[in-house]
Structure 1
Amino acid sequence: MLNIPYPLPDELVCSVIARAQRRLGIHSPKFANGYLLRNRNFIVTPDLPSQLGLFSNQLEYQPITPTDLAYRHTLLPLYAPFIEEERRQKCLMWMERKCDGNVHFTVGCAASRLNKPEFLRYCPFCAKEQIDEHGEAYWLRIHQIPSIHVCIKHQSPLCSVNKRVQKIHRHAFQTLKIQKELSISKANCVHIEEQTRIERHVSELLILAPATSPSFNQWTNFYQSVLHEKGYGKGQYVCFDKVMEQVVSRWPINWLKKECLWPLNKQSSWLHSIIRKHRKSFSFLEHMVLLDAVYEGTWSMDSILKQVPSTEEISNSTHIYMSPLDDSVVHINKSKWLNLVKRYGTKLARSNGGGAIYTWLYRYHNKWLLKTNSHYQRPIQYENNRVDWRARDWHVVRAMYRILYDSEADLDSPRRSALWFIHQLEHSATVEKKLAKLPLTATFLERYAEDTTEYQIRRLTRTLSRYSPNKPPAWRLLRESGLSDERITAQAREFIECIL
C-alpha cells in the first residue's frame, strides 16, 4: 500500500503506523487498523509487537521481511542473543503472526527485574532534528529501552508523554507531538558516565544482523573461561568476592539500586547465578554490567557474541566420582535413604534427617539415587495461608465501587469491561490471576461490566448529548459514534429507532 510511509532509521513499528494514520487524517483507531493493516484488532505494542507479517505485506513498493522488521524496528535484538536458539526462532514466528503476548514471556521481559518504561519517551532535541530533516517527528527505539533515561547525543533527559501505553485505547497509535510551550533546556544528569557506557553497547546490539543465539552451556563455558583467564579463579571455582568487588568498583551502588541490580552479595542474586551454570537467560543489562567490569571497558558486544559460540569447555569441570569406601558403608546409607523415602517421600525425606545421606548418595551413587527417587515421589499437600482472601475480596470490591462511581458520569471513557475494571486497580495482575478466590469481585464484574450493546448505547448517548435538543440523521449519529450498520447490535439499533 502506497499510503504507508517506509520506516525511518531506528523507528518503532507503532510509530510508522501512527504517522500513516496522521497523514491520512483518520481519527478512528480501529478503522485505521482495518484500512492500513487489514486487521481491526491490531493492538499497540511498542517494544515487541506481533503480526509483523501484516505490516510487511503493505510495504509492496519497498519490501521488507518480518525478520528485518523485528531486528531493525523492535526491541528484539536486546533479548535475542541471550536466549536459546529455539526460543529465538519461536519469537520470530510469533512476531510475524498473532502471539497473544507469548513473546514477552519467552524472552523473559515479563519477569525481568528491569524497570520497563510506562510511557513512550523522546528527546526534544532529537525530535527537532527529525522535523528539520524528515518533516515530522517519530519514536526512536533507543529511547524506549529500560535503564536508558538520557539522550547521550544531546546530554538531555528523556521526556515522557502523559498517556500510558494501552491504557486509553489499546488500538490507538500515538504520534510524537512536541508542545510549542515546552521549554527545551539541558539539565544536569546523574550517572551520565554509566548511561553513556550502557547506550554505547545497546547501540551495538540494535544494529546486529540476525544470527544464531548461543546456548546456555556456551554462555557458562565462556564466563568460566574468561573469569579464570582474568584471575578470578579459585581452583575449579570462581572467587565471587573478587568479581563483586570489581563490579562495584566499575558501577556505583546507587546506580545498581536504581536499576534493581542490588544487592549482589546474596546467594540468590543475579551475579551469583550468571557466573555459575546458566539455567535461565539473563537480561542484556546484567550481561553488560558483568562484561564491563571484567574487561574494564575495553570490549564490544559484537566481539563477545562472536567469541561465545567458539569457547571450549574448561578442563577442570566438576565430575562425579564413585565411592572409595567399603560396601558396608554404601549398604547402610542406601538402606537409611530407602527407609526415609518410603516413610516421607522423596522431597520431605531430605528435611527429615536425610539431607547428608542424600548429598553423599548424589555424589557417589547418583544413578541409583535418581532411579530410587523416581519410584517414591509423593505430592506435597501445601496450603498457602499467607493471604486473607476474604479481606482481600472486600478491599478489591470497595475499590471497584469507587471506580464505578467516579466513571459513571463519564461518557467518553473506554468500554468498562471486566478487564478494564481490573486494570484500574493498583495490583491488577494478582486480581486477574486469583479471581476464583475473590467471589465478591467476580460477582461485581458480572453485574457491572459493560457488554458490547451497553457500550454502543453509551456512545450513541454521548453523540446525542452534543446535538441536544436537536436530533442528527441516523447516518451521522452512527458515524460520529464510531459505529456502522455492520457492527451495531440489534438492541442498539432498537435504541436508535426509539429516539429518532
Structure 2
Amino acid sequence: MDGRGREMINFLPLIYEDELLFSVISRYKQICGMESKRALEMDLFKIYKRMGRKSVLFPQYLDTFVSNLPPTSKLSIKEIITNHTMYPFYTAMLSEQKSQSVFIAMEKGYGKCIENMVGMAGSKVKSTNYLRYCPKCYKEDLEEIGESYWRRLPQVPGALYCPTHKVLYKDSNVVITDCRNDFYCVDEDTCNTEVMMDTNPNQFMLLNLRYMENVSYLFKQHVIKKDLTFIINFYIDRLRERGLASKGGKIYIERLIEAFLSYYPSDYLELMQSVVDIEKEANWLRLFVRNNNKNRSPLRHLLFLQFLGITVEELYSTKSTTGKQTILLKRTPLFDVEERRKQWLMIIEKNPGVSRSQLKQIGKGLHTWIYVNDREWYEEVTPRTRERKQKAEIIDWEKRDEGCLEFAKSAVERILNAEGKPIRITPSTIRREIGVSRWFNHAKLLKTRQYISDVTEDIESYRVRKIVWAIEEMIKQGEKLTVYKIQLKAGFGGGNKGIKDIIIKTIM
C-alpha cells in the first residue's frame, strides 16, 4: 500500500520498444494467471464501474494506471502515450490544440471513442480489423527473448511490409475493433511463423517500404505540430516548384492527378485505400489539396509527401511557407505613345489585306497595349478585312459511332484477356486502351456510350472477377486455397472483412 492506504500492483513486465500498452497488459495478465478480464481492469485501473469502450489503439484513464504502478516505476503518462500507443501517428497532422485534447482524453478518460476525435470514424481510410504482426519478427522474438509482443508499426493503415524482414504483415486471430475483447498475447494461439507468399509486383514493396520510413519517423520523433493551413501551404509551395501550381499558388489539378496516377499504380492505391476515381469531380485527391478544415487521414498525407519526393522530416523542419499569393506586376512603358503608333502603322503597311486577328498575332503585346490604351486611334487606322470562314466539315455521326463502337468492343476484349491481375472496365480504362481522350464521350456517339455504360463494372463485380482470377491462378500453380491467401493474391491485403465475405461466397 502507499501512504494513503491504497493498494498498488507489485510489478509490471519489461516494456519492449514500440510495444502497445495493450500488449503489456496482456503479458501482465498471463504472468499473473488472471482469468477474469474484469478483475484485471480493477487491478490496473481501480475503476469500480465499467470502463466503457476500451480501445487497443487509444487506451484511457492512464493517470489512474500510472498512479497505481509501484513507487519505483519511472513510467510516465507521456511516455506511454507517445511510445506505446498510436497517438503519434494519428495526431501527426493535427494542430497542437487538437492533439492536446486527445492527450488529455487518454490521460483523464474521455468516456467515449477517441477514434472519433482523431477523425478515424468519418474517414474512408479504415484501421485494420485484426491485430497484425510479422511472422519473422515473431519467430526471432521467441528465439531471442522467449516471448513476443504486439508492435505498433503493423497496426498502421497501409502498413503492408515489415521494414526489417521485407515480408508481408499478417492478420492475427485477435479482433481489434471489439471493445469487449479480452487481452491476448502474441503466442501460438493467435499467431504463427508461416510467411505469406507475396504476389504483388516488386514495385509495391519498394513504394510501401518508403511509406514505412515516414511512419517510423512519426513514431520515433516527437515532432512540433503544424496546423493544417501550414501543411496545405507547404504542399502548394512544393507543387509550384514542380510546375504543378502557378506562381500565385493555383493548383493545376488535372496535371496533378495525372502525375499522381503515373507515380502510384492503381492496384497499389487500392491496397492503400486511396483509389483516385478520375470520373468523379469530388475524388479525394481534388479535395485533399483544398484549404479547408476537414480531417485528412495521415496515410494520405504520407502518400502525398512521398509522391512529392519529400520526407515527413522535411515537412516538420520547414519554418515558413508561402502558399497562395497575389502577384502584382509593375509595368514600365518601353516606348511613348507616338513610338508605339509608328510601329503599329509599320505592321499594317507591311501586311496589306490581312485581318485584325492576324495583325494581332503579328504585333503581339503592341496590339494589346494600343487596343487598351489608344482605342480610338486604333479603330481609325486599323483596316477591317473580313476573313472568309471555311465551311466546317460535315461529320457523319452515325458512321463515326459505328467505328467508335468497334474500337470500344476491341478494347474491352483486350482488357478482359490481358495477362496478369484483372483491370477494372471503366470509361477511362477503355479510353486509355484505345488511346483517345474525352471526345470519346461525345453525346452523339449514342451506341458507343450505351455500350460503355453496359460493360462498365461496378466495384463489387470487379472485386469478384479479381477473386475468381486469383483462385484460378492458385489452382494452376497448385497452391493451397485459403481465404487469406486468396485475398492477398487478388491484391486486397488481409484485413478487409467485406472482401473475406465475398471470397467465402465465391468458393462455396
Sort the TM-score into its range (normalised by shorter chain): 0.5 to 0.7
* Match in the other structure for 2:345: none
The change in CA–CA distance for 1:15 and 1:311 in structure 2 (over 3 A counts) is same
Are residue 34 (structure 1) and residue 12 (structure 2) matched? no
Match of 2:215 among 202, 205, 230: 202
Match of 2:241 among 229, 232, 239: 229
SS in 2 for 1:161: strand
Task: Give the counterpart letter for 1:281 in structure 2.
Answer: N
Are residue 93 (structure 1) and residue 104 (structure 2) matched? yes
Match of 1:54 among 54, 64, 87: 64
SS in 2 for 1:121: strand
Task: Give the counterpart letter for 1:48 in structure 2.
Answer: F
CA contact (8 A) 2:20 2:84 kept: yes
* Match in the other structure for 1:64: 75
C-alpha separation between the residues in 1 aligned to 2:274 and 2:191? Answer: 38
C-alpha separation between the residues in 2 aligned to 1:124 and 1:57? Answer: 36
CA contact (8 A) 1:4 1:58 kept: no
Of stretches 259-268 and 5-14 in structure 1, the one that deviates more from structure 2 is 259-268
* Match in the other structure for 1:173: 183
Unaligned runs of 5+ in 2: 1-8, 329-497, 499-508
* Match in the other structure for 1:25: 33
* Match in the other structure for 2:166: 155
Are residue 278 (structure 1) and residue 286 (structure 2) matched? no
* Match in the other structure for 1:5: 13
The change in CA–CA distance for 1:257 and 1:161 in structure 2 (over 3 A counts) is closer
CA contact (8 A) 2:130 2:177 kept: no
Shift, 1:316, TM fit:
2.2
CA contact (8 A) 2:63 2:108 kept: yes
C-alpha separation between the residues in 2 aligned to 1:69 and 1:119? Answer: 22
CA contact (8 A) 2:224 2:316 kept: no
SS in 2 for 1:263: coil
C-alpha separation between the residues in 1 aligned to 2:213 and 2:27? Answer: 28
Alpha-carbon RMSD = 2.6
Task: Give the counterpart letter for 2:212 in structure 1.
Answer: E
C-alpha separation between the residues in 2 aligned to 1:301 and 1:49? Answer: 26
Shift, 1:313, TM fit:
4.7
* Deviation readout 1:147-169 (Å, 9 max, x if unpaired): 113323223222323342364x7
Task: Give the counterpart letter for 1:234 in structure 2.
Answer: S
CA contact (8 A) 2:128 2:176 kept: no
C-alpha separation between the residues in 2 aligned to 1:53 and 1:37? Answer: 9
* Match in the other structure for 1:311: 321
Q: Who wins on radius of gyration, i.e. which is larger?
A: 2
SS in 1 for 2:234: helix
C-alpha separation between the residues in 1 aligned to 2:137 and 2:295? Answer: 33
* Deviation readout 1:437-472 (Å, 9 max, x if unpaired): xxxxxxxxxxxxxxxxxxxxxxxxxxxxxxxxxxxx
More RCO (CA 8 Å, sep 6+): 2
C-alpha separation between the residues in 2 aligned to 1:181 and 1:123? Answer: 9
C-alpha separation between the residues in 2 aligned to 1:196 and 1:246? Answer: 21
C-alpha separation between the residues in 1 aligned to 2:79 and 2:326? Answer: 42
CA contact (8 A) 1:44 1:166 kept: no
CA contact (8 A) 2:27 2:185 kept: yes
CA contact (8 A) 1:147 1:259 kept: yes
* Deviation readout 1:84-143 (Å, 9 max, x if unpaired): 222111000001022133421121111111132111111121112222333211100011
Task: Give the counterpart letter for 1:282 in structure 2.
Answer: R
CA contact (8 A) 2:136 2:193 kept: no
Give the TM-score normalised by structure 1.
0.58
Match of 2:230 among 218, 224, 230: 218
CA contact (8 A) 1:250 1:293 kept: yes
C-alpha separation between the residues in 2 aligned to 1:218 and 1:68? Answer: 28
C-alpha separation between the residues in 2 aligned to 1:26 and 1:317? Answer: 69
CA contact (8 A) 1:220 1:275 kept: yes
* Match in the other structure for 1:293: 307
* Deviation readout 1:381-416 (Å, 9 max, x if unpaired): xxxxxxxxxxxxxxxxxxxxxxxxxxxxxxxxxxxx
Task: Give the counterpart letter for 2:300 in structure 1.
Answer: E
CA contact (8 A) 1:44 1:172 kept: no
* Match in the other structure for 1:188: 198
CA contact (8 A) 1:85 1:214 kept: yes
Match of 1:14 among 10, 14, 22: 22
CA contact (8 A) 2:173 2:190 kept: no
4+ residue runs of structure 1 moved beyond 4 angstroms? 179-183
Task: Give the counterpart letter for 1:315 in structure 2.
Answer: Q
SS in 2 for 1:27: coil
Number of residues of Structure 1 aligned to a counterpart in Structure 2: 314
Task: Give the counterpart letter for 1:50 in structure 2.
Answer: Q
C-alpha separation between the residues in 2 aligned to 1:271 and 1:220? Answer: 13
Unaligned runs of 5+ in 1: 319-425, 427-500
The change in CA–CA distance for 1:171 and 1:160 in structure 2 (over 3 A counts) is closer
* Deviation readout 1:25-72 (Å, 9 max, x if unpaired): 111111111123323634541112212222322444232222221111
The change in CA–CA distance for 1:157 and 1:29 in structure 2 (over 3 A counts) is same
Give the TM-score normalised by structure 2.
0.57
CA contact (8 A) 1:83 1:213 kept: yes
